[in-house]
A and B are shown apart, each in its own frame.
Chain A
Amino acid sequence: MKRVQLFATCLGDLAFPDAVSDAAMLLRSAGFEVDFPERQICCGQPAFNAGHRAAARRVARTFVKAFSREAPIVTPSGSCATMVTHYLPELVGVEPFEIWELSAFLEHEGARMALVNDGIEVSYHDSCHMLRELDIHDAPRRLLEASGATVRELPRPDLCCGFGGTFSVRQPEISLAMADDKLTGTAPVLVTSDPGCLMHLRGRSEALGGSRRDMPAVVHLATALARGVRA
């Protein structure tokens, strides 16, 4: 049987374990055996993007120790997939890994989606790394449509949500203003493929009153595809 290694990411492991379970389920439904290398922790991105290379390297080494090169690595995070693809090898001094963001992998493997979102309108937020550095735009949308959803494009799909790692706490006012822009003009459900964007947008939506105040539910793509956006 074909195998993949699942990279939960630190945020996935700690704050969105359901989304990680959903990712594992999708991969199994697509016919893969899913390994979870126990020694994984984090790819080092939070420190790397803040300019702390030595700290990033220390943590990134745990990734190298945890994952083998025997099977592709799949992760429910566009930003972590970017980090491992473009920056980690040079940072630690190792050969590149075969790592895939979840939706890109599922589409590449021709995975069939269950009709869990039939008749539901969603919007999709493109995380910056996934969009610009991995060039993944269509896959998540096609998968959502295959699950029965109608995708309503955001008014400004190109704009960053305002998370940006430490940016979210260094420049909180601007970060919040950017989140508010993203939460305007969306369908009642907003789907994203990145735990960072998810934490920030859901956090803002809830703080602004959540569904009581017509703020969207913010859902990870893995959950949307595995159990439906209403899950």
Chain B
Amino acid sequence: MQDVLDVATANLRDLRLGAWAQLDDAEALREQGREARTRAIKNLSRYLDEFQGNVEARGGHVHRCSTDAEAAETIADICRSVGASLVAKSKSMASEEIGLNDALEAEGVRVVETDLGEYILQLAGEHPVHIVAPAIEKTREDVAKLLESVDGEPVDRELSAMTAKARRQLREVFLTADVGVTGANFAVAETGSICLVTNEGNGRLVSTLPRVHVAILGLERIVANTHDLATCLKLLARSATAQRLTTYTTLITGPRRDGEEDGPEELHVIVLDNGRSSLLGTRYEEMLNCIRCGACLNVCPIYRKSGGAAYGPVYSGPMGAVLVPLLAKAPDLPHASSLCGACTQACPVKIPLHELLLELRRDLVDDRVASWWERAAFTLWSLAWSSRLGYRATTRLARLGQPLAPSLSQPWSRGRALPRLQRRYRDR
């Protein structure tokens, strides 16, 4: 797993840097992106209302759901109301967040992931470990074995053969699914459109073939207008996969209209809160600017060593380490970082991720979530080191106690030599 992840993240990072280098002024575009996202979040309520009005004017339905359970129940209701027995899904991290697949399967509905990475993970019974490349840790051999487990037929360990096999397995699903569930990369308030960004085209199939299309998105996905959408799109693919645009960039505005040949009869947009609105007006509001490009994951030295599953089942890497503690209890995540700042440097919309991680650490201390002995240790240290006498006394003790050090300093010395404390510089 380790080598695969090291190589994959390094490649994605190099590709992104190459894509940014092709821009006339990457820094200016990042600033534009930051501005567009900030404006959307600062006027969230207004834009959500505008979005809803425009979707409904074109015959779509909007369901605003406060919690994950409410969203899962709403989608289950929609499936029930149309007697759905098969749901085809294209990639949606929001659907992972609400545990949608489990909720639908508990109702006896079969759910099949059609994004290739998600499909592979579904076959393995696992969760995504990267928000853009969900099965990033799987090797060619892993994937081949999983595809073979479906129909018992062997496949060449060769990319086009394996893709063709997956395509054959998924074709039936696209053609016979009753409901298609997608996420949405952006929701455009001005036009009531949702924007889907994929490379596989599964998003297009899932949103047009089944009779009912359900799109679930976090409420922060709102952008004001198509101009801001364009800014975000210019940043998204370049930052995620180094493409100027993904192969399929789809704008969906309402369900099928009279006279149109293609499209679902019903469109339901689920706007998910699940704690996001609690960030508004706080120091953490900026986290809602995230466009889910994954650039931060690809540069994070902790992510590449520990893998996505270590962070939890949905969001990982720096964006996960910031977002998850804000939406749910996750006291370890703010410390799953060396505060190196690579994430902040990589973020296309300039979210100061490592500064937000530091804020979260402060909260852990101020809210007394950090253990009492940790707080006591730092307090005692600071009292000792706030006077020359205290500093000299404690450091003299440390020097004298050096022979004992290895056993007292296990977390350090299991794997690293200790520095030899010598005569202090000041005593020379």
Chain A: residues with CB nearer than 8 A to chain B?
8, 10, 12-18, 20-21, 36, 38-39, 41-42, 44, 47, 49-56, 58-59, 61-62, 128-129, 132-133, 156, 158-160, 162-172, 174-179, 181, 199-200, 202-204, 206-207
Contact = CB atoms under 8 A, between A and B. Distances in A.
Given A47-B381, A164-B338, A178-B305, A158 B299 contact: yes
B326 interface: no
Contacts of B334: 51
A14 B395 contact: yes
B425 A172 contact: no
Given A51-B365, A172-B415, A21 B385 contact: no
Interface stretch (B95-103, B311-319, B416-424): B416-424
B364 interface: yes
A13 B421 contact: no
Contacts of A207: 415-417
Interface residues of B, number: 54
Interface string B105-136: 00000000000000000000000000000000
17 contacts: A16-B419, A41-B385, A41-B388, A44-B382, A51-B365, A52-B378, A52-B379, A53-B365, A59-B385, A128-B338, A132-B342, A159-B342, A160-B301, A162-B338, A165-B338, A202-B419, A203-B417
A47 B386 CA distance: 13
Interface string B351-367: 00000001011111100
A27 B194 CA distance: 61
Contacts of B416: 176, 179, 200, 203-204, 206-207
Given A8-B426, A172-B415, A177-B305, 15 more contacts: A13-B425, A15-B420, A21-B425, A38-B388, A42-B391, A47-B381, A52-B375, A52-B379, A132-B341, A162-B301, A174-B306, A181-B301, A200-B416, A203-B416, A206-B417
B306 A55 contact: no
A166 B409 CA distance: 13
A14 B421 contact: yes
B361 A178 contact: no
Given A13-B425, A51-B361, A156-B10, A172 B414 contact: yes
Contact of A58 (B383, B388, B423): B383
Contacts of A167: 335, 337-339
Interface string B339-353: 111101100000000
A22 to B, nearest CB: 11
B205 interface: no
Interface of B: 10, 299, 301-302, 305-306, 334-342, 344-345, 358, 360-365, 370, 375, 378-379, 381-383, 385-388, 391, 395, 398, 411-412, 414-426, 428
Nearest to A201: B416
Contact of B411 (A61, A169, A178): A169
